[in-house]
Amino acid sequence: MLRCVNLTKSFDKMLFSEFNLDLEPGEIVAITGPSGSGKTTLLRCICGLERLDSGSIFLNSVNITDLKPEMRGVGLIFQKPVLYPHLSVEGNLKLGSKKGDFSNALNEVGLPNFNKRRIETLSGGEGQRVALARALLAKPAVLLLDEPFSSIDDELSDRLVKDVKKLLKDRECPAILVTHNKKIAQNFADRVISL
């Protein structure tokens, strides 16, 4: 499915070196590590927002290392939800898929009737659910999650972890979660790797 071979990246210091990962279809992997260990950069390299120093990335046996981010078919959910304030909730979802069942997508993330809501009226957790619905509507080959549960309170975070895991498993969507929270990593993923 997704193969990362000898990925190496450094800025002022070495972030990760010779990193390897095989992600099976439908598998969810969590990568943990302390702040500054390069978790976010690793995700950004996989989706193409950062260039690797060396190494290769294969998606379904196709080498995507030098492809532009928009051509890779990899989705990313940022730490804080990135939603476009000039669009409503449904407008944001349409960026993921022009002709999707938006009401159903919102139902699935626990936000029924949120279609016409303005972005600035959403709470942090609601925003993250909309970002997730949008990412899933885009049907990515792999979904990357960059600490999406860290900016919300514990109770909501626990619920969101369960909901998101179920959604990904229902769709058999492979995913990589990076987090510094080992408990979330164990609850969410099939396999946990330390960076």
According to DSSP, residue 118 is labeled B
To the nearest whole angstrom, how small is the minimum distance from the Cβ of residue 122 to another protein? 14
Per-residue x/- marks for another protein, 13-52, CB under 8 A?
Answer: ----------------------------------x-x---
Of positions 66, 71, 123, 166, contacts another protein by CB under 8 A? 71
Nearby residues of 173 by Cβ (< 8 Å), 6 or more positions away: 26, 136, 140, 142, 143, 167
Q: Which of residues 117-156 bind another protein (CB under 8 A)?
A: 120, 134, 138
57 vs 29: CA distance, rounded Å = 16
Tokens 């990362």 -> residue: 4
78 binds another protein (CB under 8 A): yes
Tokens 């109770």 -> residue: 155
12 binds another protein (CB under 8 A): no
Please say which residue, 87 or 195, places its beta carbon nearer to another protein. 87
84 binds another protein (CB under 8 A): yes
Distance set, CA 122 to CA 114, 158, 180 (Å): 9, 19, 26
Of positions 36, 95, 123, 186, contacts another protein by CB under 8 A? 95
11: nearest Cα among 34, 37, 31, 43: 37
Token representation of residue 183: 């408990």
Interface with another protein (CB under 8 A):
47, 49, 68-71, 74-76, 78, 82, 84-87, 94-98, 120, 134, 138
